[in-house]
Structure 1
Amino acid sequence: MDANARARLAPWLLASYGLVLVVVAVGWHLGIEARQLGRLGGPMLALALDGVLPLALVYGGYRLVKTATPGEQIWTVFVWSVVGSASIGTLIGLSVVIRQFEGGTVAEPVFVTLLSVEAGAVAGLVAGYFAIQARQDAERAVRTAGTLSFVNDLLRHDLANGLLVIDGRASILHRQLESTDARNAVEAIREQVTELDRLIDNAGAVAETLAGDATFEPVDVVAVTGEVVDRIQRTRDVPIDVRGPDGATVRANDAVRPVIWNLVENAVEHGAAATDRPDRAAARERTGASTDSSRTSEADAVLADRDDRPPVVVGIEVTADAVEIHVCDDGPGVPHDKRNTIFEARAGETHGGGLHLVETLVDSFDGEVRLADDSGRSPCPAEMRGAHFVVTLPRS
């Protein structure tokens, strides 16, 4: 039987199978059992059970047709129903035969077997229905993923082309303008175009990572951290201290940049800003304190004594099989009642969404992100009592 024929016959076959079971039940209870017993009471009660149960198959076929379920999928439900009926019916039937072979007494063997056949048919109907629902959901998910992938590629392509035009026109203006202020403004435009172009690339990496289609490769998180911090400090007047080795490669892709960006930006937002503590800049100039990764613990003590430690510290440590990225701030920290839900997505809250994205991406890298209890045994100064996030990524 070809697919088209099955699709046309499927609902009728399902309903017919239910009616056949009803006819068998009626024939047995009223045609045979009633004559054997000489009364109708017991057979009628039995018929009320195994004569009504198969009608679920008839109603199931009707409902599937009314909901415009494709005939091929109704065929799947029919097959599941027959398989369930045969499986349970055979199992119970064999148990009855074995019991009789042993000389045991089995009350109402036909009734028990018939009831098990019908119960298996209805169970198969339910299982088949959920099977086609799962298949429909999977097909819908594939279509949605394909559509989102197409829209993502289209938007990135069009935005990249638009930014290329803007950069080209800005380049022409830069060569022709004589005003220093105007040339600086054009330079700012070109710089922003470069950053937006980088964000487009990162968006593609994030989409591929979340979809499970990304290809991971060695990524130097020290270099990425330096770029992120440099970019943030161009727009935020907050000292950020980066500590760590000259290089540390992890198994990831460009989507690691949003991970570091969101954590550092979160620390800048919630840490004590440099503008709130104006004495820091002057103290830093007096002490000659730097943001170089070679700062020692003695320097930390000096900074603490002068109340000049940076409000945000990013420390990178390399272990035997992983790279740890510590992001600390000197803000009020995370309230105890929010520590267990800090990475959950929260509608309408930008930073909550950023931390949720961080956790999702880190999980995709087979890593871990956590909120540490304190800054002890980390590159962060012991005096920093704000939030302390730790990202652990597998080494490349």
Structure 2
Amino acid sequence: MDSHRLGTRSPRLIMGFGAVLFLIAVVHHATEIVALGGLVGPVVAGLLDGTLALVVVYAGYWLSGTDLLPQDRWRVFLWCLTGAAIFVAIMGLSLLIRAFEGRVIGEAIFPLLIAAESGGIAGVIAGYYVGRARSEARRARTVSEALRFVNSLIRHDLRNDLNVIRGHAQLAESSDDAGDAEPGTDSSSVIAEKADEALARIDTTGVIAETLRGEADLAPIDLAAITSEIAKGVENTYSIAVTTDIPDEATVVANKGLRSVVDNVLENAVEHNDADDPRVHVDVDASGETVELRVADNGPGLSDEQKERVLSPREGRGGGLSLVRTLVEGYDGELRIEDNDPRGSVFVVSLPHANAEPS
């Protein structure tokens, strides 16, 4: 059984542990009533350890309503058992010492039950605060990673846009010097288009950071429309043959950061293409269980080792693609790299379908 499933069941395991202690207390004190022929002592003792056992049961119920992750809930259960074991061991050791000293021990079950229940309660409390501390530490790391991610995203994507703008600005300047520039030339259009894209990237960085922190408001968004728009822009910017097979609509669950996903995958297919006749084919398929974006190029291709490396956030060369992978996983999707036939790579982005209407 995996740790996630165990963590999910931990509150019920704690409740079960408390129920077992309660049952032992009831049986034990019922036996005492019969043996002693009196009610007061056994009933008072039963109320004491029975109440503590019910507190353990409630602790499990309470844990189920907290926002701790399954692995932290599992640790709470382990703390509960550990606390009970330690308290029972201490109480048992004290009883053994009394027996070794020759002192009379009336009965040991009652104090051992009290010890087990008290230790279980203490363990749940301690385990919860340890889990809460771990959760806060994870949240702090996530925020730090989100900020680092957004910084990398801005540096990578804006650098690409600004390099294109600078190149076309220089081309336009050369045309002006030669006296053959005309209003509305391709360079002017590209500069305006890339400037708009750069501003759009800045606007979406906040959304991307929220996605990385797991706080994004995801909604239906049309992958087909975004892909068509970006594919046309890439073809105009890089003067490369980009063919498409895109349906009228392919709605997925994502947010504005999806534009950066498509943009990075397409630009990667163009930038690293060393073919004499570079080509890129873009396909969006919404007929399966997920919506798939496939970007195939006829570039140099990647070995299995390179495929893993370019998707790693620790590798500079694959910076844009590692950003894509993190975003896609934030949408509960998957990014993978396949071999193209006869040459090149295919980048596949799988995303969950969206409902026809936003939920």
Query: So what's the TM-score if we normalise by structure 2?
Result: 0.51
Q: Quote the offset at 1:255 in angstroms.
A: 0.8
1:325 is paired with a residue of what secondary structure?
A: strand
Query: Which residue in 2 is equivalent to 1:244?
Result: 246
Identity of aligned residues (%): 34
Quote the Cα distance in structure 2 between the aligned partners of 1:88 and 1:260.
55
Q: Quote the offset at 1:106 in angstroms.
A: 6.8
Query: Which residue in 1 is equivalent to 2:282?
Result: 314
Q: Quote the offset at 1:245 in angstroms.
A: 1.5
Q: Quote the offset at 1:254 in angstroms.
A: 1.2
2:207 touches 2:216 (CA, 8 Å); kept in 1? yes
1:242 is paired with a residue of what secondary structure?
A: strand
Q: Does 1:91 align with 2:88?
A: yes
Quote the Cα distance in structure 2 between the aligned partners of 1:339 and 1:142.
25
Quote the Cα distance in structure 2 between the aligned partners of 1:265 and 1:199.
15
2:243 is paired with a residue of what secondary structure?
A: strand
Query: Which residue in 2 is equivalent to 1:257?
Result: 259
Alpha-carbon deviations, 1:348-373, whole Å to 9, x = none? 42xx111111111111111111112x
Q: Does 1:225 align with 2:227?
A: yes
1:204 is paired with a residue of what secondary structure?
A: helix
Q: How do residues 280-291 of structure 1 correspond to structure 2 at under 5 angstroms?
A: none
Alpha-carbon deviations, 1:311-341, whole Å to 9, x = none? 2111111134311111111112102332333
Query: So what's the TM-score if we normalise by structure 1?
Result: 0.47
1:390 is paired with a residue of what secondary structure?
A: strand
Match of 2:326 among 342, 354, 360: 360
Quote the Cα distance in structure 2 between the aligned partners of 1:109 and 1:134.
47
1:130–1:183 distance in 2 versus 1, CA, 3 Å: same
Alpha-carbon deviations, 1:263-302, whole Å to 9, x = none? 11111122245xx33xxxxxxxxxxxxxxxxxxxxxxxxx
Q: How do residues 1-396 of structure 1 correspond to structure 2 at under 5 angstroms?
A: 90-96=87-93, 134=134, 137=137, 181=181, 183-184=183-184, 190-273=192-275, 276-277=276-277, 311-349=279-317, 352-372=318-338, 374-375=339-340, 383-396=341-354
1:246–1:181 distance in 2 versus 1, CA, 3 Å: same
1:268 touches 1:312 (CA, 8 Å); kept in 2? yes
Quote the Cα distance in structure 1 between the aligned partners of 2:308 and 2:141.
30
1:335–1:194 distance in 2 versus 1, CA, 3 Å: same
Alpha-carbon deviations, 1:25-53, whole Å to 9, x = none? xxxxxxxxxxxxxxxxxxxxxxxxxxxxx
Alpha-carbon deviations, 1:90-146, whole Å to 9, x = none? 31144347769xxxx976899xxxxxxxxx9xxx9x999978975884686698699
Q: Which is further off, 330-339 or 247-256? A: 330-339
Q: Quote the offset at 1:228 in angstroms.
A: 1.1
Quote the Cα distance in structure 1 between the aligned partners of 2:92 and 2:102.
10
Quote the Cα distance in structure 1 between the aligned partners of 2:102 and 2:137.
42
1:392–1:181 distance in 2 versus 1, CA, 3 Å: same
1:241 is paired with a residue of what secondary structure?
A: strand
1:239 partner letter:
A
1:96 touches 1:106 (CA, 8 Å); kept in 2? no
1:85–1:314 distance in 2 versus 1, CA, 3 Å: closer
Quote the Cα distance in structure 1 between the aligned partners of 2:188 and 2:279.
32
Quote the Cα distance in structure 1 between the aligned partners of 2:202 and 2:283.
27
Quote the Cα distance in structure 2 between the aligned partners of 1:141 and 1:345.
15
1:196 partner letter:
A
Q: Which has the larger radius of gyration?
A: 1
Quote the Cα distance in structure 2 between the aligned partners of 1:127 and 1:211.
25
Unpaired runs of at least 5, structure 2: 1-79, 104-118, 155-178, 355-359
Quote the Cα distance in structure 2 between the aligned partners of 1:347 and 1:188.
30
Quote the Cα distance in structure 1 between the aligned partners of 2:287 and 2:220.
16
2:143 touches 2:213 (CA, 8 Å); kept in 1? no
Alpha-carbon deviations, 1:43-98, whole Å to 9, x = none? xxxxxxxxxxxxxxxxxxxxxxxxxxxxxxxxxxxxxxxx9998666311443477
1:272 touches 1:329 (CA, 8 Å); kept in 2? no
Query: Which residue in 1 is equivalent to 2:35?
Result: none
Give aligned pairs, total. Answer: 231
Quote the Cα distance in structure 1 between the aligned partners of 2:143 and 2:346.
41
1:329 touches 1:384 (CA, 8 Å); kept in 2? no
1:96–1:229 distance in 2 versus 1, CA, 3 Å: same
1:216 touches 1:253 (CA, 8 Å); kept in 2? yes
Query: Which residue in 2 is equivalent to 1:115?
Result: none
1:391 partner letter:
V
